[in-house]
Amino acid sequence: MPERLPGEAEAHAPEPARAPLLEVVQLRVHYGAVAAIRGVDLTVAAGEVVALLGGNGAGKSTMLRTISGLSRPRAGRIMLAGEAIHRLPPSRIVRLGVAHCPEGRRVFGNLTVAENLRLGAAARRERAGIGEDRERIYALFPILRERMTQPAGTLSGGEQQMLALGRALMARPRVLLLDEPSLGLAPLLVQQIFRTLAELKAAGITMLLVEQNINLALDLADRAYVLRTGEVSLAGSAADLKADYEAVAAAYLGARP
Amino acid sequence: MSSELYITQQIINAISLGSLYALVAIGLSMIFGILRMTNFAHGDMMMVGAFGTLVLGSLGMGFGWAVLAGIAIGALAGVIVERTAYRPVRGAPEVTLLLTSLAVTYILENLGILIFTSSARNFPLPDWMNDAFQLFDGQITFTQINLLTVALTAVALAALGWFVTRTDVGLGMRAAAEDMGAAHLVGLDVNRLIIVAFAIASGFAGLAGILWAAQSGVVEPHMGFTPLLKAFVGAIIGGFGSIAGALLGGYLLGALEIFIVAFLPSEISPYRDAIVFILLIGFLLFRPNGLLKRSQEVKL
């Protein structure tokens, strides 16, 4: 690399406001011989909520797993605030500010609600403010405070989803990855979860959301990508996609409008 | 001899034996919980700990310090085995893990034979350790070793209980044992958790080995084999992978073995081990999750 002249770095540095917080570049992920993601580009700016739509097997969960470091890309890169994270172990990635609220909730059923929340903060670098963050989560989900000494395995599905979300928030993430937060929940609970997500968005939390429910996702998101068999088949602002429902449906199914 | 006193004596014996089984079973269960691996080399950490205490004691170290050092040597040996033998095959099929741990067993036991020969050595105890307490005109007898066994086990268990419910690392170990993938996702350093689990498990085994040697009076390279099998049975009875289950199973097994000999006709006593293993088969057939463990939850 040629030596930089003084001041050059500054001159060439992208403007912070326009630099994506999370940037996925030409990502390819394989499971054995099968390509799950084939060259996807994706960006999420700070404060933005981006939805990742698509049918089963489109590669949505694989995308989130790869960002979190659970799957390794075959090619391409993942940048968080300009730093490459795609070769780091999951614990480092969480430490750098990516929290993942996984599909199926995956709370620790043998541990209490309070212990689950505590572990959510175990990896975070900034130790100050953990107590306040926990209070904020209890304020967001009062039922969790009532159940704080119960094993998480005894919670209902909706309560477990709240706990999974709270656990991810305890990491005080720069980017929150959400995988199917509405899965398997009663409509009323889904509404409640999405109201909470809207509050989090208003509070400025950056999210990358995988969701089967297109309407809910597009109502919340600023922008959306539709994945089909590992490729981006449609991308645009949430408002545009909502207005052109047929294009979204076509992008799901594969026929180009 | 009155029957109440006889029963009390047998309960003392059962607690003493059960403590040893529980100490070994907990480590076995912890490692299985987090790695889904049956660590057959776990029993050899008893041998390592006991020889460590033996050697340091014979070099003139005070007994108490030699015991602590023996525990530390056991813990260190467990961490070294994890790092050199188990980590390279982590995630491999269960058969690979099983064979690797058997290989480690052979290596450690033959190393023990190479260094110490296969003949049993006397385990040097300070004289006061063999002092017996006699109550009710000698109808109830227990030695300092019995007392020490129960006391040290209680301390170790209390410390472990505190560790796994009050510290991030301890909670993380339980979390990783339940769902390794989710443990990664909340940012737990799983490698570190596994090292800590091996250190604790092997340190417990080292302590059990020292106490076992103190009770039997001898140390030899294969000394870990029988207690390992018994601890394995105890861990399965309680629920393999559960710390509380291993604790319960270890004490139940200790009680069962003592009571078979103490209360059943003497013709049955020789079949003690057979009864224990029939119980194991029964549990594996009809209640494979053990007494305490909930049925396996579906993992996504």
Interface of B with A (CB under 8 A): 165, 168, 171-172, 174-175, 178-179, 181-182, 184-190, 294, 297, 300
Query: B99 φ, ψ to 5°?
Result: -65, -35
Query: Same structural domain for residues A158 and A178?
Result: no
| CA-wise closest residue to A90 among B184, B183, B194, B168 | B184
Q: What is the DSSP string of B11-73?
A: HHHHHHHHHHHHHHHHHHHHHHHHH----GGGGHHHHHHHHHHHHHHHTT--HHHHHHHHHHH
pLDDT of residue A15: 43
Query: Same structural domain for residues A228 and A239?
Result: yes
Q: Indicate whether B245 belongs to any domain.
A: no
- Separation in Å, CA of B20 to nearest CA in chain A: 26
**Tens of pLDDT along B85-138?**
999 998 888 899 999 999 999 999 999 999 998 888 888 888 777 778 887 777
pLDDT of residue B272: 87
pLDDT of residue A257: 44
The pLDDT confidence band at residue A216, using thresholds 50, 70 and 90, is very high
pLDDT of residue A224: 95
Q: What is the ipTM of this complex?
A: 0.85
pLDDT of residue A86: 94
Q: What is the pTM of this model?
A: 0.86
**Tens of pLDDT along B238-257?**
888 888 899 999 999 999 99
Interface of A with B (CB under 8 A): 68-70, 89-91, 93-95, 99-100, 102-104, 106-111, 115, 118-120, 122-124, 153, 167-168, 171
Query: Which range has highest mean pLDDT (A9-23, A130-144, B142-156)?
Result: A130-144
pLDDT of residue A254: 67
Tokens of A61: 């969960």
Task: Determine the structural domain holding residue B83 and report its residue range.
Answer: 3-224
Q: Indicate whether B179 belongs to any domain.
A: yes
> How many structural domains are present in chain A?
2
- Chain A neighbors of B187, CB-CB under 8 A: 90-91, 93-95, 99, 122-124, 171
Q: Which amino acid is at B219?
A: V
Query: Same structural domain for residues A93 and A209?
Result: yes
Q: Indicate whether B268 belongs to any domain.
A: no
Q: Indicate whether A185 belongs to any domain.
A: yes
**Tens of pLDDT along A55-94?**
888 999 999 999 999 999 999 999 999 999 999 999 999 9
pLDDT of residue B41: 94
Q: Is the pLDDT of residue A9 over 60?
A: no
**Measured distance between the N- and C-terminal CA atoms of chain B, rounded to whole angstroms:** 60
Q: Would the CB atoms of B178 and A111 count as touching at under 8 Å?
A: yes
Task: Determine the structural domain holding residue A183 and report its residue range.
Answer: 19-97+174-191+201-252
Q: Indicate whether B28 belongs to any domain.
A: yes
- Chain B neighbors of A68, CB-CB under 8 A: 184-185
Query: Same structural domain for residues A74 and A122?
Result: no
- Separation in Å, CA of A210 to nearest CA in chain B: 16
The pLDDT confidence band at residue A7, using thresholds 50, 70 and 90, is very low
Tokens of B92: 């491999």
> How many structural domains are present in chain B?
1
- Chain B neighbors of A118, CB-CB under 8 A: 168, 171
Q: Would the CB atoms of B188 and A119 count as touching at under 8 Å?
A: yes
Q: How far apart are CA B189 and CA B242, in angstroms?
A: 21
